[in-house]
Amino acid sequence: MAFTGSNWGRQVLLTGLTPSASLSGFVALVDLSNVPVEAIDTGSNSALNNGGDLRFSTDAAGVNQLALEVVSYTTSASASARSCQLWIRFPTYASGTRSVYMFYNKAGETQPAPSATYGSEKVWVDYEVVIHQGTTIDSTGNHTPTLNGSPSLASMNWGGQGYDFQSTGQSITIPHSASLNIQKLYTIGVWTDVPVNNPSIGQLLINKSLSNSDGFR
């Protein structure tokens, strides 16, 4: 058994949208719109601040635990001060396997190590690089990105802050490594807010280089 669900004070069943086809290795976002208020309001049933006690499983007993990355989980009595950005990986996501139990309210718990069986890196086993919010941390554990320039931070739609790139000298570089072959085909996803008064800024979001120092930028 991955963990004993009955040892947690609270659990809630979350159900996602029905996919058009069965998906393998589907990564889902859980945000403030998904979690119960009691799980994040610092009350007697609340999860721990920073989400150390959060666990996810496709069954109520905790047998089929899912890998979890807690990017942010800020508990507060004030709704405007709360933040929640959680990522979980379903081995199979289909019409009959789209529900997951969220467990919370257990003192003294911390998240598993990133490389552990249900740690944050296991959420992204199908990805080369994943960077969240205003950091240069690669959640996959594969790379060590670097920040170029000094971009400011700006608020994001689901909480937290992301980089506000204002010039060509500001970027994140993912350097060459044994696993990163920039001549391969990649699918790249970016959450961005392009300024209405200067849409040309958004014309070049990703660049790649064959030099010894650069990979993707």
What pLDDT shows up at residue 162?
Answer: 82
DSSP designation for 121: G
Q: What is the dihedral of CA 105, 63, 69, 102, to 10 degrees?
A: -40
For residue 100, what are the β-bridge partners? 14
What digits encode the pLDDT tens for the residues 93-109? Answer: 999 999 999 999 999 99
Cβ–Cβ under 8 Å, residues 97 and 23: no
DSSP designation for 119: S
CA separation for the pair 172, 186 (Å, rounded): 17
What pLDDT shows up at residue 190?
Answer: 77
Amino acid in the structure at residue 170: Q
Overall residue count recorded for the chain in this entry:
217
What pLDDT shows up at residue 195?
Answer: 65
Output phi, psi for 69, to 5 deg.
-115, 125
DSSP designation for 39: G
- The vertex-43 CA angle with 67 and 50, nearest 5°, equals 35
Closest CA to 173 of 145, 131, 201: 145
Percent of the chain with pLDDT over 90: 58
Grouped pLDDT means (10 residues each) for the chain, 217 residues: 92 95 95 96 98 97 97 96 95 95 98 96 93 87 87 75 80 77 74 65 60 52
Radius of gyration of the chain from its Cα atoms, rounded to whole angstroms = 19
What pLDDT shows up at residue 133?
Answer: 81
Cβ–Cβ under 8 Å, residues 72 and 84: yes
Output phi, psi for 39, to 5 deg.
-80, -5
CA separation for the pair 140, 152 (Å, rounded): 24
**Is the whole-model pTM more than 0.85?**
yes
